[in-house]
């Protein structure tokens, strides 16, 4: 069992940057795949970025602006978000799983979730 706790969200202006953190506890984190998803009001939860083994992947709308990284010594995964846009406004969730079944871009593939952190980007 892994417990995840996100932090770092807030209200920023378009063009600003934020770094989200997701601290894990409960099990050895280094063997887990990790991801970030987001959910805007009235929309489904959307894949943002993932680290699957040594591979990272991003949804097209954030490529070149967002960077996912992790520090296994700190049991923490990060999402650095630059050049933020109003359409990035959402609740951001981190996810973890030791074994991904199906597409990692699908929220159903992930077993462990944080509670979410709100990111609001004003124009």
pLDDT tens digits, one per residue of 5-58: 999 999 999 999 999 999 998 777 788 999 999 999 999 999 999 999 889 999
Q: Give pLDDT, residue 29.
A: 76
One-character DSSP codes across 63-92: TTTEEEEEEGGGTEEEEEE-S--GGG-EEE
Q: Give pLDDT, residue 31.
A: 86
Cα–Cα distance measured from residue 25 to residue 12, given in angstroms and rounded to the nearest whole number: 29
pLDDT exceeds 80 at position 123: yes
pLDDT tens digits, one per residue of 74-115: 999 999 999 999 999 999 999 999 999 899 999 999 999 999
* Helix (H/G/I), strand (E/B), else coil: 23: strand
Cα–Cα distance measured from residue 106 to residue 48, given in angstroms and rounded to the nearest whole number: 10
62: left (phi over 0), alpha (psi -120 to 50) or beta: alpha
């Amino acid at each position: 069992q892994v417990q995840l706790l996100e932090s770092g969200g807030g209200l920023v202006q378009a063009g600003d940057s934020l770094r989200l953190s997701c601290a894990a506890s409960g099990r050895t984190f280094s063997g887990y795949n990790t991801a970030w998803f987001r959910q805007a009001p009235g929309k489904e939860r959307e894949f943002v970025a993932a680290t699957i083994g040594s591979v990272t992947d991003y949804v097209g709308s954030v490529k070149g602006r967002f960077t996912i990284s992790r520090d296994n010594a700190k049991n923490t995964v990060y999402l650095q978000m630059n050049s933020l846009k109003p359409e990035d406004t959402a609740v951001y969730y981190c996810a973890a799983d030791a074994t991904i079944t199906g597409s990692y871009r699908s929220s159903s593939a992930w077993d462990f979730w944080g509670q979410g952190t709100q990111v609001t980007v004003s124009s």
